[in-house]
Every structure is written in structure tokens, then in C-alpha cells.
Chains A and B, each alone.
Chain A
Amino acid sequence: MENMINLTIDGISVSVPEGSTVLEAARAAHINIPTLCYLKDVQQIGACRLCLVEIEKARGLSAACVMPVSEGMVVRTNTPKLRRQRRVNLELLLASHNRECTSCVRSENCELQALCREYGVKEYPYDGAKKETSVDTASPCVIRDNSKCINCRRCIAMCNNVQQIGAIGVSKRGFKTKIGPIYDRSLADTPCVNCGQCIVACPVGALHERESIDDVWAAISDSEKYVVVQPAPAVRASIGEEFGLPMGVAQTGRLAAALRRLGFDKVFDTNFGADLTIIEEGTELIERLGSKDAALPMITSCSPGWISYCEKFFPEFIPNLSSCKSPHEMEGAMVKSYFAEKMGIDPESIVVVSVMPCTAKKYEAARPELGRDGMQDVDYVLTVRELAKMIKQAGIDFAKLPEEKFDDLLGESTGAADIFGATGGVMEAALRTVYEKVTGKTLEKVDFTAVRGTEGIKEATVDLDGKEVRVAVASGTANAKKLLESVKNGEKTYHFIEIMCCPGGCVTGGGQPIVSSKDLQYIDLKAVRAKALYDEDKNKKLRKSHENPEVIAIYKDFLGEPGGHKAHELLHTTYTAKPKY
């Protein structure tokens, strides 16, 4: 039983566990204290000074986000003095902020803008010198605009502490304090793995993805082009949030309908690619398990952020990476070969657009390894946020759309594909197939719950009819690092590891809808979105990738054997060690 502390906030009595902060206690009392630098579980540093509250008998004001509660504490969060100080501090932030709100990518989803509205900021009394700023557009995925940065450091907490990449940091001091890479470099020239977690951590428009919206519109309106779209599994889990639909409910049917209304010629599903991945990856695993000199553990390769991380931070594990392309790349390769052949379309005229929960996929799509004959497997990658914008631009009332299906040939999927979007999902999907392939028996209980959940590292041992397979799952690069180091120093041995770059997996990827820090206080975003995918899986008749009829057909009609020559040519890739700087 936790020790409970009683206190009063704005006259309301609350009781919270010992060790809670005043901010958390206020939340329990349904009182919202404004914050900018605070981000639940990511950063509590008391720096922005917006969450200051008055505490009786305390000297001066206290930052609610770091102030621990104590018995009998009397807190006031809303006094004329506090409101005034908050307004002045907001005005100070605005004085050096690039206030081109109307053209800002985060307009209406900006925490600073929202607070200014709430606190009635009407003018800019302290305008003066602006900070030395720059816009970094050299990265293929992430654009940084320092003119909008408010020095809250949430991006750094994400990059340094949560992900332990350290691509950006704080430099200089005082008014000259700057957030960004060393020596004002571009992110492209740093250890950045393009995960985009900095973007979802940013309360303002200082960080956003490189947009491909205009390119995609152009392709759609080009009558010479045959434009195919495919959304990743995790997209259906979150797209509804952009249109005010409840969190944690998959919008698969409306997603297909919306894509069709945008004017794409074919609306396929990356889920198909996911099922295909399982066949190839499962085959590869079985081969490696049976071989004496194959590198083990085998590590999944679906997450391009993780691939970059491996290439930059752990090149010694490159032989362990599955040679399988990621699902949307497989899907793209199939569109430009199998589908083109079948439909008699010149693959050169096909444009493959992926909608991804991810920013790193933009970099992945451009990797020279992922294409052939001068064509990339995937031409454009849109984030969920970009897709939502396009749907809004097209005047589509998403919430009222009928539910539709994906197109045939490359649109069918099993429940195993849906769960790719949650950490542990690829592992579970693979195990369902590998178990049946290895044992020849039917898997009755398809839920491998040991690899589900939002913990950073999960382990399990699976009995494949007498043969024990040790598996591990890590999400977030810091956890990947921890896991790999334990493997490297011999502390742990595994056969198969799933690694996702983003903590929680793709449901909380860097390309997902941005949830404000205020709302994040109340929900476990990773779990809520993952639930949408596990619900999808549960409700499907087919839940094992190898049962997908379109997958079966593609091997029969086109690819031949899983892991065979043609499959290798089209569905597998290579990796190279890369310098951090």
C-alpha cells in the first residue's frame, strides 16, 4: 500500500501517493497547471517557469512539475499574481519567437499559441533583438527551425535521455543559448537516426518533418502517372485522432475510403507487405537457426531508424540484421514488379506513396539499396500528419466516411500484420508462422502475451516442439543499446530479437499525430494506440501471415519459394556501417 499524502489545491482536498509532484496532484484534482518544458516521463526540469504555484509557508514560488507534495500542503495555482507572471513570461518567449503563426506547420496544434490564448496575451511589449537563428533543411526527414525554438529542451530530453542518440544538445548560454547539433551543423551531419521523436516532443513549430505533400498532389494530378498508395499498420491506429475521433480505435475502413477519395489509382495496404515480410523473415530465421555459422541472434529490420542506429552505433551487429526489406519496401517492390507485370503497366510510370507513422521512412525510401533499374521501390513517404493535412485539403469529412476495403492483389492482410505497429508485434507475428513451419503443427493459442506490453525490453522463451528459442524485444534506441550490450558482453544470448527505433514501436513513431503534453499527462499513448491494433488482430479471421491468400498467391504466381532467388532479388537488401559525424 502506497503512502498517501493529503494536500489542498485551490481549496480542493486531494490525496496522492507520496513522491507525487504538485503538478500530478493538481491533475488528480482536475486542475490544469500550464507547462511548456514538462513532458511526462521525459522531462521534469522546472525551466520554463509557467507551472509556478504559490505554496503557503514556502519561500517564493515553486515549480509544480518538480515540487514534491507534502502532508498538509496548501497550494494555489490561480492567483492574480501568478496569472500576471505567466503572461509576462509568455510575452518574453514571444519577444524572440518567430511569430509567423499562420504559415506555421503547428498552427492550432501549438502549445505556446494555446497558452497565449488562454492567458490573454494581446501585444508584444518586449520586442527587441531576435536570436541568431537558422533553418536546417538538409536532413531528408527532419527540418529544424530555430527561429521558433523556445528553449524548452524537450527535444533534447528525447534525443539524449530517452533515445540516447545525442544528435542535438544545448550550447552556449544566456540569451545565446542554442538548441541543436554541434557547431550549427545540419542534422544530416550528425548521429541522428531520423526517428522524429524530437518532432513529437516539440511544443511549437521548431521541428517538423520534410513534407512531401506537394509532390504527392503533383503525382496524383499527373495523368501519365499511376499512383499507388499504401498505409502502414500503425496508421489506422492513430489517423482518427486528427479528425476528433476517439483515441485507441482503428479507422481502417475510413482510411481506405479517404485514400481512394484523394485520387490514388490503387489503395493497397502495407499490411500485405507485413505478411510477406513474415514469410521471408521467418524463412530466414529458420535457415539461420539450422545453420552452424549464421549470425545469431537475428535482428528484425523493419524499423529504418533502428537500421540507421545499427549502422552508426553498432556496426558489429550488421551481420545479425535480417536481410529482409521493411514491409512497405517489399510492397513497393511488388507493386513495381508483380503488379505492374500483371496489369501491364510500365513500372516507370508507377509512383508508390507510403503513409507511415515514421519520419525515418523518408530516408529509407531514398536508400540506393532499395530499388532497381534506376527506380526506387517507394517514391514518396507521407507521415500520418501529412496525410491528415491532405485529407483536410481535399475537403474530405473523414469522420463521416463509409468503411471501405483495400484493393485486391496487394491489399489483403492477416491479424499478424496489424500488430506490426506495436512493440513486440513483429516478434509475435513471426512466432505464429515460425512455430507452424518448424513444428508442422497448428498453433492453437496465437497470442504470445509475453512479448506484448509497453516495457522497453521484453524477453521470452518459446518452445518450438522441443527446441527452445530465446527471444527479446526492445523499443527505443536506449533500450536497444542496453540489450545489444548485454548480448555483446555475453551476459545474454538470444536467437531472435525485435528492435523498434521508437519507444513503444510504430504506434508512437515520429510521424504520428502530435498529442499535447497536457493530454499526455492523462493517457498512456503507447498502450492506447497499441490496443487499437490488437483489437484489429483479434477481430480478424486470419491471424497468421502464411494464411494470407494473396501472399500464398504471390509466391505461387510470381516469387516462387520463400527465400528463393527471385524473392532475394526483390525482397532483400544490404547494410553498411556509417560514421556518426
Chain B
Amino acid sequence: MTIEELKRIKEQTLPQINMRHTHTVENETKYKHQVLVCGGTGCTSSGSGKLIDEFKAQVSAHGIEDEVQMVRTGCFGLCELGPIVIVYPEGVFYAQCKTENVKRIVEEHIIGGKVIDDLVYHEKTTGEVKEKLSDMQFYKKQSRIALRNCGVVDPEKIEDYIAFDGYQALAKCLFEYTPEQVIDIMLASGLRGRGGAGFPTGLKWKFACGNRGKVKKYVCCNGDEGDPGAFMDRSVLEGDPHSVIEAMAIAAYVIGADQGYIYVRAEYPIAVKRLSIAINQAREAGLLGNNIFGTDFSFNLEIRLGAGAFVCGEETALMTSIEGNRGEPRPRPPFPAVKGVFGKPTILNNVETYANIPQIILKGADWFAGMGTEKSKGTKVFALGGKIVNTGLVEVPMGTTVREIIFDIGGGIPGGKRFKAAQTGGPSGGCIPEANLDTPVDYDSLMAIGSMMGSGGLIVMDEDNCMVDIAKFFLEFTVDESCGKCTPCREGTRRMLEILTKITDGKGEDGDIEKLEELANTIKTTSLCGLGQTAPNPVLSTLRYFRDEYEAHVYEKRCPAGCCKHLAKITIDPEKCKGCSLCSRKCPVGAISGEIRKPFVIDQSKCIKCGACLESCKFGAISKK
């Protein structure tokens, strides 16, 4: 492919799909309407595949195939409300769309030209009807760079990507910039790795530049998104795979590599499929392979599937895994820039990092550096989950406060419950308590309060969540996922988990908290890799902000959140109890007794806290605290 051909594809395709941005139907546009249906993992799980079939059936039943284009996109972000349908040119947002609604959308909206009020999105908090994406609270405060094409393009069509300036950044680098100039742009943009550690991307590239053209080098992409609760990388790969491919080609040009590997979790089948399609299309178009754009730059790309090991998100472990070994980390130095995959200089960036790069090249370092805070530029994608109204994916400028993300975009806590903490950084991160809700999200601010940016999982917890239990949950995860190579991580995390289990089982003793701290300290400072070095963070940060909860468990044998089964006390409120005896019949150990139509009581010495009574009571008289 030549630059001219690239331009021609753009000119041909853009008018057809530009209504997704402009909301106007241009003269040369073939289709009058476009129906975008989310084909991300969340919406696919909620049945978006059937929706598309139904749309196609309805459209053809009405004989308007030539007027309506059906597009299966990547993730829109608001997974909670899937499956999601957007109808252009208006850009009307239909949430939780059911197959039986399709007929109405086709007949009333597409043919009849009338937005269907009872099907469009309603703000969950206020109940307001919001027709368009851009009006929604969830989208208003976002600025999308990494996700700019997600939910906009058809990820299985390279033309869609090219229409929105795809592969022009690569062309620009090849024809207008030397590798050094590209590095300068990257450095000036202030882009830092989005995988967690936040290392400046330009610097990483610079380190791998030596001996360009003289030695074999590799460019790798970390798509082994292992943080349970983060799924932004998957969404980018599902929604906009070409942006990653283009950025990797740019990186390869800069350091002088001719081979790349994208390491993706095998658990992400849709992402893997779309990525394979995209790589094949790029290869066919000559955007991968030999002599790209007729230059002497050649770059090939292969997918390697992660096989289910969290530690492979760590860079050296990922490389050992690409080499076909147990994904165990290696000591650094040597750093990957010197000795990486197969012993050759290698750079490794994560998916989200790459997704930013073409835009930085096209719009300039100043544009990117104009967003964010002093030391953290640009935007960050967060996966909102847990006890939050709008679960999903959001991209916000660095420096947005945690409060804005959770309450303005995320819609706050459901069920009128009280916010307790937000967890970022997954098993490597920490908790942000209410007092720190106004912390701006950037690498350094989060680090300062004992959490971390991590890959961007943001899980919200309310008053019903026990922080000791949460710490235990993360430790269970790291114990399972520790590779077993180094002593502190292999042995120490297990011992920490045992102590936490003891505490949540109500068997905590004086000195246990101190032992946890001693172990956490040793594991943090002496582990071989990032997994071990950060494994104690969930414990350290909950100890920092919720030490009283630990102490309540250990010294008072009480779980303040009423979550830890062994510490919970189930009681019957005599005011509310009608004496129906249902609970007593449900109780498997005969701990509840009483007279019919009089309040029943629970014998605490017999109660095994199974909660059967709780579920059985029709009057809400039984509670667990």
C-alpha cells in the first residue's frame, strides 16, 4: 500500500461512517441510518448477537436493507446496561435492548423517525431521559483517546479504522520523522506506561535503540490483563485492534525491530479473534510485512496466547512465557531493553499505552501533554466495578478526582448504601477511603496514599464489605498466582493469608497484626518481581485506613461490616418478628425457638451463622451484624 492508496481508502470510507461523529447524513453517504450494536464481551454475554440477527431480519422484512447499515462494534463502556444499541445519525442510545424491542426501533424510529422514549437510556440517579450518548452523565466527563474508536468503528473492518486517520501516524513516522524525533515526541508527550508502573514510554524506547539495524530486536505488547476487575485492554483489542497494531509498528520503526508479539489472554476469545482478523487485514493491505509503504521498514506481528497465569503480566515473566516456558520472572538487570525475548533487546508496552500513541503522533506531543497533571499526562481508562451504579469502562483526563469518577460518572453507590472504599490497582494496589475521595487520579498521588494506578481496575465497596475480608480476597489471589520461584512470595504470602483467615475466622490473637506487618514488609522489599513486591499492598493499605476493623476482629471478635461469617451475630428483632416460625423450621441446627405469634429467639451458642433464617424471614426481622 502507498500513502495515496491509504488516502483513497479514507476518502471513500469516511463519508459512509462519519455520521457517527457529525450526526449528519452527507450527500454521498450510502446508508441513511446506521445501527451500532455493541459486540464487546459484556454485551455479547447479554445477548447482542441475537439482537443483530433480529435487526437484520426486521430491516429486510421492511425492505430497507439499502438504507440501514448494521455495525457490530467494540465496547461502549456501559456494560451494566448491555446490550447497547445506538442509532445514527441521531446517536440515540438504547440500553438493555431486548430482541422484542427491535421491531419497534426499526418501525418507529428508523422508519417512523421518532425516538422511542420508553426504550432510551434513563439516568439511573435522576430518572431523566437522555437520548444521546453525549448527554449522558456517564459520558459527559470522559475524554476518549485510547477508547476513541471503541464503539464507533467496526473492529473487523480496516477501512473504518483508516477512515478515522488510521495508519497515518505510522506513515508520518516513516516519512517525516527519524526514530530519534519520534522518541522526542514520546518524551515530550509525557506518556507513561498504562500497565501499572508508569514508566515513561519514550525513555523505555530510547533505552532499546542501541545497535539499530545490527541486532535482532522485538516489540511486544502486554495484553495479559490479569487484574481481576480490569478489562480496558480487552475492550481496546475488541473495539479498536488496529490502533495497537499501528502503534507497535511505530515502536518497531523506532528501535529497529522487525518482529512483534502480542501476548493476549486466551480467556479473551473475542479479542483474540478480532486481533487475528486485524493482523491479517493489515498484512494483506501491506501495513504489516515487508517494505511497508514502500520503505525499507519491515515488521511482522504474531499473537501469543497467555495460558492463565497472572504473573505473566510482569514483563520478564511475560517474556519467559513467550519463549515457551513456565512464566517465571527473571532478575533485572539485564533489563529487557538489553536482553529481552529470546535474549534480544525488547520493548514491552501494554495495550492501553499503545492505543494512545497514534493520536500523539498525529496531534502532537503538546496536545497530549496539555491534558492531565504535571507528572501524569493524558487520560486513563478505568474499569468501574463493584458497588457502583454505572459499572463499565470510562476514560478520564489524569487529575480527575476519585469522587468525580465514582459519583459523577459512576452514579454513586446503589441501594442507598454508604461508600466505604475504592480499590485500585487490583491485587497489587490499595484502598482509597472516603477521606481521600478528592485525590486526583495520577500515578504519584495514588502512590502517596498507598494505592496505585495499576492497570485501571476501580472496584467500589460499600458499608457491607469487610476490609479484612477484602484483603484476604486479594491475598488468596496472590497465593494462587505466585509463581513459586522466590522464597518471600511463595512462602510469605501463604503465611499472610493464614493469619488473615485466622482473623476473619474469629481466632485472631494479640500479635497477629504485627506479624502481618513484618511479613508484608519482608515480602515487599525482598521479592523477586513486581507481583511479590506489591502483593502485601492490599493488606498494608487496609491496615493503614481500616486498622480499627482489624482490631475489632482480633480483640472484640466482631466484624463491623457483618460480613465475616464466623464473627457475625444473627439476631431477631422482636419488634418486627411476627412469630411465624418459618425461620425456626429452616434452621438446620435447631438454634431458633419460640411460641407461635410471639417473637422468636436465636440461641447464639447453637447458631452456625449459615443465614438460612435470614433468607427465610418475610418480615425483615432477622439481621446479621
Contact = CB atoms under 8 A, between A and B. Distances in A.
A175 B481 CA distance: 9
B174 interface: no
Interface string B498-529: 10000000000000000100110010011110
B482 A48 contact: no
Given A47-B486, A88-B522, A126 B515 contact: yes
Nearest to A89: B487
Interface stretch (A60-68, A379-387, A533-541): A60-68
A95 B495 contact: yes
A443 interface: no
A146 B487 CA distance: 16
A128 B239 CA distance: 47
A170 B326 contact: yes
B39 interface: no
A563 B514 CA distance: 76
A409 interface: no
Interface residues of A, number: 35
B528 A92 contact: no
B331 A89 contact: no
Chain B contact residues: over half helix, strand or loop, or mixed?
helix
B525 A151 contact: no
A180 B395 CA distance: 48
A125 B480 CA distance: 23
Given A68-B333, A88-B518, A48 B491 contact: no
Contacts of B488: 49, 88-89, 92
A72 to B, nearest CB: 16
Interface string A71-103: 000000000010011001100110110000000
B487 A174 contact: no
Interface residues on B, range: 20 to 34
B533 interface: yes
A129 B528 contact: no
Contacts, number: 104
Contacts of B533: 60
B479 interface: yes
A68 B484 CA distance: 24
A85 B498 contact: no
Contacts of B487: 47-50, 89, 92-93, 150-151
A67 B334 CA distance: 9
Interface in B57-73: none
A122 interface: no
Contact of B525 (A68, A85, A128, A170): A85
B527 A173 contact: no
B490 interface: yes
A63 B498 CA distance: 28
Contact of A63 (B326, B331, B480, B482): B331
B482 A175 contact: yes
Contact of B484 (A60, A66, A95, A151): A151
A173 B482 contact: yes
A174 B522 contact: no
Contacts of B331: 45-46, 63, 66-67
A176 interface: yes
A88 B309 CA distance: 27
A32 interface: no
A545 B484 CA distance: 53
Contacts of B479: 174-175
Contacts of B485: 45, 47, 177
Contacts of A125: 515
A225 to B, nearest CB: 49
A57 interface: no
B494 interface: yes
B522 A46 contact: no
Given A46-B528, A47-B528, A52-B526, A92 B484 contact: no
Interface in A90-126: 92-93, 95-96, 125-126
Contacts of A89: 487-488, 491-492, 522, 526
A172 interface: yes
A49 B526 contact: yes
Interface string B403-439: 0000000000000000000000000000000000000
Nearest to A90: B487
Contact of B480 (A47, A150, A170, A174): A174
27 contacts: A45-B330, A45-B485, A46-B528, A49-B486, A49-B488, A49-B528, A63-B331, A67-B331, A81-B525, A85-B526, A88-B522, A89-B488, A89-B522, A93-B487, A95-B491, A125-B515, A126-B492, A129-B494, A150-B487, A151-B490, A172-B484, A173-B311, A173-B482, A173-B483, A174-B479, A174-B494, A177-B485
Interface of B: 309, 311, 326, 330-331, 333, 479-488, 490-495, 498, 515, 518-519, 522, 525-528, 533
Given A92-B491, A174-B479, A175-B490, 15 more contacts: A46-B528, A47-B486, A47-B528, A63-B331, A81-B525, A84-B522, A88-B492, A93-B487, A95-B491, A95-B495, A128-B494, A173-B483, A174-B481, A175-B494, A177-B490
